[in-house]
Amino acid sequence: MQTAIIRRYIQVFSTLFLQGAILFISAGTLRWNWAWIFIAVGVVILIFNGLVLPREVIEERGSRKTNVKKWDKVLTNIAIFPFLGIYIVAGLDYRFGWSGDVSGIIHIIGLVITYSGSLLFTWAMVSNLYFSTKVRIQDDRSHQVATGGPYKFVRHPGYIGYFLMVLATPVALGAWYALSFSILLSILFVIRTALEDKTLFNELAGYREYAAKVKYRLIPFVW
């Protein structure tokens, strides 16, 4: 499975490179300090994940998937467009000054929230050996319900971390107009959360009992 691990490292670093390329090409310049800082934080996150994530999780996330839900393929393909839109619009925002001068404190708050979201996302991956990039029941890996770490509090903590990162990215870059794409991407993944939860409820042994104890998907006392 060494190939899957190498593939995953290539995937995540290629994605970060793509994010940076889109930002600077859209901005029309490399002289964008906050974008460089944002990319640097991304590098730190990836290195940290490489050090702490269980080998099984990296292999799963880098492996070629079988029995992926058709609706998940549709949603994740649609999600590519608002994901790219965040970085395209952020770069254009910087080029044309749509958001005006944004306080350095705002940038820093955005970076802190982005990194905090990544830590929650990482905690969820460390606590769930079946944390995949696709929605599927992993019968090939004797799929079991994750109940430790943040899963004691909500059923899908990884999504919370992801939402924090997605929504904080325009703030970190000082590009308010890109926030509309972050919101659209978050809506798509809220839909995905609901469908994934239904899939696990119906198809994963022990998930009904777990859901009876941990009642909320994302936000305690709300949903």
Instruction: Check pLDDT > 80 for residue 1.
Output: no
Q: What angle do CA 49, 43, 78 make, to 5 degrees?
A: 80
CB neighbour list of residue 158: distance below 8 Å, 6 or more residues apart: 120, 121, 124, 125, 128, 131
The reported pTM is 0.93
Q: Dihedral (C-alpha) 50, 53, 59, 61: value to the nearest 10 degrees? A: -90
Q: What percent of the chain has pLDDT over 70?
A: 100
Q: What angle do CA 157, 160, 163 make, to 5 degrees?
A: 155
pLDDT at 180 over 80: yes
Average pLDDT for the chain: 96
Q: Longest Cα pair distance anywhere in the chain, in angstroms?
A: 54
Mean pLDDT of 149-171: 97
**Higher-pLDDT residue of 2, 67:** 67
Please list, in sequence order, all residues whose beta carbon lies within 8 angstroms of the beta carbon of residue 128, skipping any fewer than 6 positions away: 57, 146, 149, 151, 158
Instruction: Pick the more confident residue, 2 or 212.
Output: 212
Query: Which structural domains are found in the chain, ordered by start?
Result: 2-213 (1.20.120.1630)
- pLDDT tens for residues 26-35? 999 999 999 9
